Amino acid sequence: MVDLVWLIPAFPLAGFLILLVGGRRLGEPRAGWLATACCAGAFGAAVTVWLGLLGEPEHERHFTQVLFEWVPSGSLSIDAGFLADPLSITMALFVTGVGALIHMYAIGYMHGDPNFSKFFVYLNLFVFSMLMLVLGSNLLVTFLGWEGVGACSYWLISFWFTDEANASAGKKAFVTNRIGDWGFMCAMFVAFGAIGSIDYAVLNSGALSPVTATAVGLLLFVGACGKSAQLPLFVWLPDAMAGPTPVSALIHAATMVTSGVYLMTRVNPILAEGYGWAPDLIAWVGVITALVAATIAMAQHDIKKVLAYSTISQLGYMFLAVGTGAYVAAIFHMVTHAFFKALLFLGAGSAIHGMHDQQDMRRMGGLRKVMPITAATFMVGWLAIAGVPPFSGFWSKDEILLGAYDVHPAMWAIGLFTALLTAFYMSRQVFLVFFGAPRWNDEVAEAADGDAADVPAETHETLHPHESPWLMTAPLVVLAVLAFAGGAINLPVVSDLLFLEHWLEPVVGDHQVHVETGTKIMLAVIASACSLAGIAIAASVYLWRKVRPVEPKVLEHAWYYDEAITAFVGGPGEAGFEGVAAFDRIVVDGAVNGVGVGVRDSGTLLRRLQPGFVRFYALGITAGVVVVLGYFFTRTL
Partner 1 sequence: MLSAATAHSSGAATNVMLMSALEVTPAWYLVLGSLLFGIGAVGLLVRRNPLVMFMCVELMLNAVTLTFVTFSRMLNDVGGQAIVVFVLVVAAAEVVVGLGIIVAFLRKRPEATADDMAVLEG
Q: How far is the CB of 606 from partner 1 (least distance, A)?
A: 8
Cα–Cα dist 555/302, whole Å: 13
Terminal Cα-to-Cα distance of the chain (whole angstroms): 104
The β-bridge relationship of strands 63-73 and 76-84 is antiparallel
Residue 612 makes contact with partner 1 by CB under 8 A: yes
Q: Which of 514, 600, 615, 635 binds partner 1 (CB under 8 A)?
A: 615
Q: What number of chain residues touch partner 1 (CB under 8 A)? A: 12
- Tell me the closest approach of the beta carbon of residue 612 to partner 1, in angstroms: 3
Is the backbone peptide bond immediately before 279 cis, with ω within 30 degrees of 0? no
- Part of the chain binding partner 1 (CB under 8 A), chosen from 358-366, 383-391, 575-583, 609-617: 609-617
Torsions phi, psi for 608 (to 5 deg): -70, -15
Compute the chain's Rg from CA coordinates: 31
When the beta carbons of 441 and 622 are compared against partner 1, the nearer one is 622
Residue from 586, 622, 627, 630 in contact with partner 1 (CB under 8 A):
622
Nearer to partner 1, 512 or 604 (CB): 604
Rounded least distance, CB 637 to partner 1, Å: 19
Scanning 63-71, 374-382, 553-561, 614-622 for contacts with partner 1 by CB under 8 A, the matching segment is 614-622
**Nearer to partner 1 by C-beta: 573 or 611?**
611
Q: What contacts 38, CB < 8 A, 6 or more positions away? A: 11, 12, 14, 15, 124, 127
- For residue 61, report the phi and psi dihedrals to the nearest 5 degrees: -90, 75
Question: C-beta of 618: minimal distance to partner 1 in Å?
Answer: 5
Segment lying near partner 1 (by CB under 8 A), choices 243-251, 498-506, 545-553, 618-626: 618-626
Q: Which is nearer to partner 1, 58 or 601 (CB)?
A: 601
Q: Is 129 helix (H, G, I), strand (E, B) or coil?
A: helix
> 344-383 burial, b for 16+ CB within 10 Å, e for fewer?
bbbbbbbbbbbbeebbbbbbbbbbbebbebbbbbbbbbbb
Kindly tell me which residue out of 410, 619, 627, 628 binds partner 1, with binding defined by CB under 8 A.
619
Does residue 614 interact with partner 1 by CB under 8 A? Answer: yes
Query: Does position 627 bind partner 1 by CB under 8 A?
Result: no
SS3 label, residue 64: strand
The string over 399-409, giving b where at least 16 C-beta atoms fall within 10 Å of a residue's C-beta and e elsewhere, is bbbbbbbbbbe
**Stretch touching partner 1 by CB under 8 A, among 217-225, 331-339, 570-578, 603-611:** 603-611
Neighbours of 584 (CB within 10 A): 11
Q: Which stretch binds partner 1 (CB under 8 A): 151-159, 383-391, 556-564, 604-612?
A: 604-612
Q: Between 548 and 615, name the residue whose CB sits nearer to partner 1.
A: 615
DSSP state of 454: G
Per CB under 8 A, the segment of 199-207, 250-258, 565-573, 616-624 that binds partner 1 is: 616-624
Is 607 a residue that touches partner 1 (CB under 8 A)?
Answer: yes
CB atoms within 10 A of CB 53: 23
Per CB under 8 A, the list member of 605, 609, 632, 634 interacting with partner 1 is: 609
Contact call for residue 605 and partner 1 (CB under 8 A): no
Compare residues 576 and 624 and give the one whose CB is closer to partner 1: 624
CB-based burial, 97-121: b 16+ in 10 Å, e otherwise: bbbbbbbbbbbbbbeeeeebbbbbb
Interface with partner 1 (CB under 8 A), residue from 75, 610, 634, 636: 610
Residues contacting 454, CB < 8 A, separation 6+: 301, 302, 360, 362, 447
- Partners of 77 in beta bridges: 72
- Of 165, 595, 618, 628, the residue at the interface with partner 1 (CB under 8 A) is 618
Q: Which CB sits closer to partner 1, 27 or 611?
A: 611
| Site membership for partner 1, residue 600 (CB under 8 A) | no
Q: Nearer to partner 1 by C-beta: 372 or 630?
A: 630
Could you give the CA distance from residue 225 to residue 177 in angstroms, rounded to a whole number?
Answer: 9
**Cβ contacts of 108-115, under 8 Å, gap ≥ 24:** 108/468, 108/469, 108/470, 108/471, 108/472, 109/244, 109/245, 109/246, 109/349, 109/353, 109/472, 110/28, 110/32, 110/244, 110/246, 111/28, 111/29, 115/159
Between 209 and 622, name the residue whose CB sits nearer to partner 1: 622
Question: Rounded to the nearest whole angstrom, what is the least distance from the CB of residue 193 to partner 1 in the complex?
Answer: 55
User: For residues 580 and 621, which CB has a smaller minimum distance to partner 1 in the complex?
Assistant: 621
Q: Does 633 bind partner 1 (CB under 8 A)?
A: no
Least distance from partner 1 to the Cβ atom of residue 582, Å: 39
| CB contact at 8 A, 313 and 337 | no
Which lies closer to partner 1 via its Cβ, residue 201 or residue 629? 629
Smaller CB distance to partner 1: residue 495 or 636? 636
Contacts with partner 1 by CB under 8 A lie at: 606-607, 609-615, 618-619, 622
